[in-house]
Amino acid sequence: MASMLGEKLFEFSGQGPPPPKDFFQLVITKNEVIWRSWRISLQLNCRGAPPKELRTSHHEFLHQKMLQQHLGVVFGQRILEYTLALCQGKFDYLERLPDDIMLRIMSYLHLKETTLLAQVSQRFRKLCNSETFWEHTVRNRCAGFTNDMEGIASAMGWRKTFFTFFHSSGGKELK
Protein backbone atom coordinates (compact mmCIF):
# COMPACT_ATOMS: atom_id res chain seq x y z
CA MET A 1 0.00 0.00 0.00
CA ALA A 2 2.87 2.39 0.67
CA SER A 3 3.63 2.39 -3.06
CA MET A 4 0.35 4.26 -3.60
CA LEU A 5 1.77 7.28 -1.78
CA GLY A 6 3.45 9.81 -4.01
CA GLU A 7 5.97 12.36 -2.77
CA LYS A 8 3.19 14.92 -2.30
CA LEU A 9 0.51 13.62 0.06
CA PHE A 10 -1.74 16.66 0.12
CA GLU A 11 -1.94 20.19 -1.23
CA PHE A 12 -4.42 22.92 -0.45
CA SER A 13 -4.39 26.63 -1.17
CA GLY A 14 -6.63 29.63 -0.95
CA GLN A 15 -7.19 33.08 0.40
CA GLY A 16 -7.20 33.56 4.14
CA PRO A 17 -10.08 35.06 6.09
CA PRO A 18 -10.69 38.83 5.91
CA PRO A 19 -9.70 41.56 6.54
CA PRO A 20 -6.28 40.79 4.96
CA LYS A 21 -6.34 39.32 1.47
CA ASP A 22 -3.29 37.11 2.00
CA PHE A 23 -2.98 33.89 0.03
CA PHE A 24 -1.83 30.61 1.62
CA GLN A 25 -0.63 27.24 0.42
CA LEU A 26 -0.25 24.05 2.43
CA VAL A 27 1.79 21.19 1.00
CA ILE A 28 2.34 17.95 2.87
CA THR A 29 5.01 15.62 1.52
CA LYS A 30 6.14 12.27 2.88
CA ASN A 31 8.62 14.02 5.15
CA GLU A 32 7.54 17.59 5.78
CA VAL A 33 4.83 20.20 6.03
CA ILE A 34 5.36 23.28 3.86
CA TRP A 35 3.41 26.45 4.69
CA ARG A 36 3.64 29.32 2.23
CA SER A 37 2.02 32.72 2.44
CA TRP A 38 1.82 35.64 0.04
CA ARG A 39 1.01 39.06 1.41
CA ILE A 40 -1.63 40.73 -0.76
CA SER A 41 -1.61 44.47 -0.18
CA LEU A 42 -1.79 47.77 -2.03
CA GLN A 43 1.00 49.19 0.11
CA LEU A 44 4.14 49.99 -1.86
CA ASN A 45 6.44 48.20 0.58
CA CYS A 46 4.54 44.92 0.00
CA ARG A 47 4.62 44.94 -3.80
CA GLY A 48 6.85 42.28 -5.26
CA ALA A 49 7.53 40.76 -1.85
CA PRO A 50 8.45 37.08 -2.14
CA PRO A 51 6.26 34.50 -0.44
CA LYS A 52 7.18 33.42 3.05
CA GLU A 53 7.86 29.73 3.46
CA LEU A 54 8.05 27.56 6.54
CA ARG A 55 9.21 23.96 6.28
CA THR A 56 8.90 21.62 9.20
CA SER A 57 8.99 17.86 9.73
CA HIS A 58 5.79 15.99 10.51
CA HIS A 59 7.01 15.40 14.05
CA GLU A 60 7.80 19.09 14.59
CA PHE A 61 4.45 20.16 13.11
CA LEU A 62 2.62 18.01 15.67
CA HIS A 63 4.22 20.12 18.43
CA GLN A 64 3.81 23.57 16.80
CA LYS A 65 0.48 24.62 18.27
CA MET A 66 0.69 28.19 16.90
CA LEU A 67 1.16 26.94 13.32
CA GLN A 68 -1.69 24.46 13.81
CA GLN A 69 -3.93 27.22 15.11
CA HIS A 70 -3.04 29.47 12.17
CA LEU A 71 -3.73 26.66 9.69
CA GLY A 72 -7.10 26.03 11.37
CA VAL A 73 -8.04 29.71 11.13
CA VAL A 74 -7.06 29.95 7.46
CA PHE A 75 -8.34 26.62 6.10
CA GLY A 76 -10.72 25.36 8.79
CA GLN A 77 -10.81 22.58 11.34
CA ARG A 78 -11.37 19.78 8.80
CA ILE A 79 -8.16 20.56 6.89
CA LEU A 80 -6.25 20.88 10.18
CA GLU A 81 -7.52 17.48 11.35
CA TYR A 82 -6.61 15.88 8.01
CA THR A 83 -3.12 17.45 8.18
CA LEU A 84 -2.62 16.16 11.72
CA ALA A 85 -3.73 12.68 10.65
CA LEU A 86 -1.26 12.66 7.74
CA CYS A 87 1.55 13.81 10.04
CA GLN A 88 0.66 10.94 12.39
CA GLY A 89 0.94 8.45 9.50
CA LYS A 90 -2.82 7.91 9.10
CA PHE A 91 -3.29 7.80 5.34
CA ASP A 92 -6.65 7.63 3.57
CA TYR A 93 -5.87 5.21 0.77
CA LEU A 94 -9.39 5.33 -0.67
CA GLU A 95 -8.99 9.06 -1.33
CA ARG A 96 -5.73 8.33 -3.12
CA LEU A 97 -7.10 5.82 -5.65
CA PRO A 98 -7.01 7.00 -9.27
CA ASP A 99 -10.34 8.24 -10.68
CA ASP A 100 -10.73 5.35 -13.12
CA ILE A 101 -10.47 2.79 -10.31
CA MET A 102 -12.86 4.78 -8.09
CA LEU A 103 -15.36 5.00 -10.96
CA ARG A 104 -15.10 1.22 -11.42
CA ILE A 105 -15.82 0.66 -7.72
CA MET A 106 -18.69 3.16 -7.82
CA SER A 107 -20.28 1.28 -10.71
CA TYR A 108 -21.14 -1.51 -8.24
CA LEU A 109 -22.99 0.83 -5.88
CA HIS A 110 -26.70 1.55 -5.95
CA LEU A 111 -27.52 5.13 -6.92
CA LYS A 112 -28.81 5.80 -3.41
CA GLU A 113 -25.36 4.81 -2.10
CA THR A 114 -23.62 7.16 -4.55
CA THR A 115 -25.68 10.08 -3.21
CA LEU A 116 -24.28 9.28 0.24
CA LEU A 117 -20.77 8.89 -1.17
CA ALA A 118 -21.02 12.34 -2.77
CA GLN A 119 -21.37 13.80 0.73
CA VAL A 120 -18.06 12.31 1.93
CA SER A 121 -15.63 14.72 0.29
CA GLN A 122 -15.21 17.21 -2.51
CA ARG A 123 -13.42 14.59 -4.59
CA PHE A 124 -16.26 12.07 -4.28
CA ARG A 125 -18.84 14.79 -5.01
CA LYS A 126 -16.93 15.69 -8.15
CA LEU A 127 -16.72 12.03 -9.24
CA CYS A 128 -20.40 11.33 -8.49
CA ASN A 129 -21.42 14.36 -10.56
CA SER A 130 -18.96 13.77 -13.39
CA GLU A 131 -20.07 13.10 -16.93
CA THR A 132 -17.88 9.98 -16.91
CA PHE A 133 -19.79 8.51 -13.94
CA TRP A 134 -23.16 9.24 -15.54
CA GLU A 135 -22.04 7.87 -18.90
CA HIS A 136 -21.05 4.59 -17.19
CA THR A 137 -24.37 4.61 -15.34
CA VAL A 138 -26.41 5.05 -18.51
CA ARG A 139 -24.43 2.46 -20.49
CA ASN A 140 -24.50 -0.14 -17.70
CA ARG A 141 -27.96 0.36 -16.17
CA CYS A 142 -30.29 1.45 -18.95
CA ALA A 143 -31.22 -1.73 -20.83
CA GLY A 144 -32.89 0.08 -23.76
CA PHE A 145 -30.01 2.47 -24.40
CA THR A 146 -28.52 2.05 -27.87
CA ASN A 147 -25.41 3.42 -29.56
CA ASP A 148 -27.71 5.57 -31.73
CA MET A 149 -28.67 7.48 -28.59
CA GLU A 150 -25.05 8.29 -27.76
CA GLY A 151 -25.01 11.57 -29.74
CA ILE A 152 -28.10 12.81 -27.93
CA ALA A 153 -26.64 11.84 -24.58
CA SER A 154 -23.37 13.61 -25.36
CA ALA A 155 -25.23 16.76 -26.42
CA MET A 156 -27.69 17.01 -23.54
CA GLY A 157 -25.47 15.47 -20.84
CA TRP A 158 -25.29 11.92 -19.52
CA ARG A 159 -26.87 12.69 -16.16
CA LYS A 160 -29.88 14.38 -17.75
CA THR A 161 -30.10 11.46 -20.21
CA PHE A 162 -30.20 8.98 -17.33
CA PHE A 163 -33.04 10.71 -15.54
CA THR A 164 -34.94 11.34 -18.77
CA PHE A 165 -34.53 7.67 -19.73
CA PHE A 166 -35.37 6.49 -16.22
CA HIS A 167 -38.57 8.55 -15.99
CA SER A 168 -39.72 7.76 -19.53
CA SER A 169 -39.36 4.03 -18.86
CA GLY A 170 -41.04 4.22 -15.47
CA GLY A 171 -37.80 2.92 -13.91
CA LYS A 172 -38.34 -0.51 -15.46
CA GLU A 173 -35.48 -0.38 -17.94
CA LEU A 174 -32.75 -0.35 -15.30
CA LYS A 175 -30.51 -3.38 -15.12
Rounded-to-integer distance, Cα 37 and Cα 48, Å: 13
pLDDT band at 4 (very low <50, low <70, confident <90, very high): low
Q: The CATH number of 97-168 is which of 1.10.3470, 2.40.10, 1.10.238, 1.20.1280?
A: 1.20.1280
| DSSP code at position 6 | -
pLDDT band of 62, cuts 50, 70, 90: very high
Question: Please, what is the average pLDDT of the chain?
Answer: 86
pLDDT digits (tens, 9 = 90+) for 94-143: 777 889 999 989 988 998 999 999 998 888 999 999 999 999 888 888 77
| CA-wise closest residue to 84 among 75, 97, 108 | 75
Q: How many residues does the chain have?
A: 175
Residue range(s) in the chain whose domain bears CATH number 1.20.1280? 97-168
**Residue 57 backbone dihedrals phi, psi, to 5 degrees:** -70, 165
Is residue 12 a contact partner of residue 79, using CB atoms and an 8 Å limit?
yes
Nearest by Cα to 126 from 109, 112, 143, 106: 106
